[in-house]
Amino acid sequence: MLHQPLDVSQAGAPAILGCDVAKATIQIHDNASGRNWSIPNKPQPLAALIAQHPHHHILVEATGGYEIALIEIALAHERTVYRIHPNQARAFAQSLGQRAKTDPIDAAALALFGHMFHARLRPFHLPSQDERRLRQLARRRDELIAMRTQERNRLKAPEPLTPRDSMTRMLAHLADEIACIQAEIERIFLGNRQLAEKQAVLCAIKGLGKTTAHNLLATLPELGALSGKHIAALGGLAPHAHDSGSRTGYRKTGKGRSEVRRILFMATLAATRHNPTIKAFYDRLIANTKKPMAAIIACARKLLTIANAKIRDAQI
């Protein structure tokens, strides 16, 4: 079933190239012809692939960056590109009874997924170079901060023979690196008017400071471009139902980008004290016997949807 050619002649059913991306190669499946083949993950073969299939949509998994070259070339040729989570692709293949996992099978499953659900997929828009650089810098700063916390904890060890001089030097070096990363982040905002305007909108919301604004824009470049429900789901703050029969299960948040929840946690604590809208919402939830942590998560979701709406309304 996965490898058979599909009828893509009916209206609204585009031909799909399912692309299973690896570091060195890309396995391709054309759902219109049923053909399955592999090409090197290099610019020239990728450009030839796109040129030879002018009417196909491209569907790839997120693979930590190895798919970016294909996406850039496809978008440069004005092709429609969809990028989905690997778990979504694997769950789809398993739903078809496909237990084996190989590159040709994965590529065929991607092509079939695109054929069946293209109307529900959102075309992928590659963030700008500044947005991508900002995300990498924010991620590196978080890594360095985590390393600094580890060194500080080691420095507090009671063992008298602990090499404290080495730890002190490392802490000083980490502090310099964090400062350099932060300075580069600041330069990106100074040189990009659109990002600077979004930062100003976010910082005008009580509870959101400059660092939180930087991190939100780094991890959620979609802010202002999606609906409130979609941005909450993308940020991992949308509650998911767990009901069965007459039982109403406890709603849980999850999925999405976990770093958004971490970024918003401290900001939300501040907002429950200093932002009148969020404070009133938090107090009402607590009065209705909502657990404090659940109330904080709900307030984080409300804070994120407010930020999304303000950037959208500013038409930046």
CA distance 195 to 227: 20
Q: What is the predicted pLDDT for the residue at 247?
A: 65
Are 217 and 155 part of one and the same domain?
A: no
Alpha-carbon span 77 to 51, nearest angstrom: 8
CA distance 272 to 279: 4
pLDDT of residue 215: 92
Per-residue model confidence as pLDDT tens digits over 109-123: 999 999 999 888 889
Residues 102 and 84 in one domain: yes
Q: Clarify whether residues 186 and 203 are in a common domain.
A: no
The answer to whether residue 283 is domain-embedded is yes
- Contacts of residue 276, defined as CB under 8 A and 6 or more positions apart, other chains included, come to 206
**Percent of the chain scoring above 70 in pLDDT:** 91
Number of domains in the chain: 3
- Residue 153 resides in a domain: yes
Is the same domain home to 218 and 264? Answer: yes
Q: What is the mean pLDDT of residues 63-74?
A: 91
The whole-model pTM stands at: 0.77
Element (H or E) spanning 28, and its range? strand 25-30
Q: Given this model, what pLDDT does residue 250 score?
A: 61
Domain shared by 312 and 255, yes or no: yes
For residue 304, being part of any structural domain is answered with: yes
- Assess whether 206 and 283 both reside in one domain: yes
Give the confidence band of 305 by pLDDT, cuts at 50, 70, 90.
very high
Q: Which residues pair with 21 in a beta bridge?
A: 26
Pair 199, 316 in one domain: yes
State which residues form the domain around 56. 15-120
Q: Which of 76, 104, 120 is the last residue of a domain?
A: 120
Q: Are residues 214 and 314 in the same domain?
A: yes
- What DSSP element (H or E) covers 81? strand 81-84
Instruction: Please check whether residues 89 and 148 belong to one and the same domain.
Output: no
In a domain, 2, yes or no: no
Domain holding 99: CATH number?
Answer: 3.30.420.40
Which among 69, 94, 120 is the end of a domain?
Answer: 120
Strands 56-61 and 81-84, how do they pair? parallel
Residue 3 has pLDDT above 70, yes or no: no
158, amino acid identity: P
Q: Pairing relation of β-strands 15-21 and 56-61?
A: parallel
Give percent above pLDDT 90 in the chain.
61
**Span 12-52, pLDDT tens digits:** 678 999 999 999 999 999 998 999 999 999 999 999 999 99
Domain assignment present for residue 7? The answer is: no
| 261 and 293 inside one domain | yes
Q: Is residue 10 part of a domain?
A: no
Q: What pLDDT score was predicted for residue 101?
A: 87
Claim to verify: residue 187 and residue 226 sit in the same structural domain: no
Looking at the domain assignment, is residue 168 inside a domain? yes
Q: Mark whether 43 and 114 lie in a shared domain.
A: yes
Q: Is residue 226 part of a domain?
A: yes
Tell me what pLDDT residue 214 has.
Answer: 92
Domain boundary at 74, 100, 120, which?
120
| pLDDT tens readout for residues 237-274 | 876 666 667 666 566 666 777 788 889 989 999 999 99
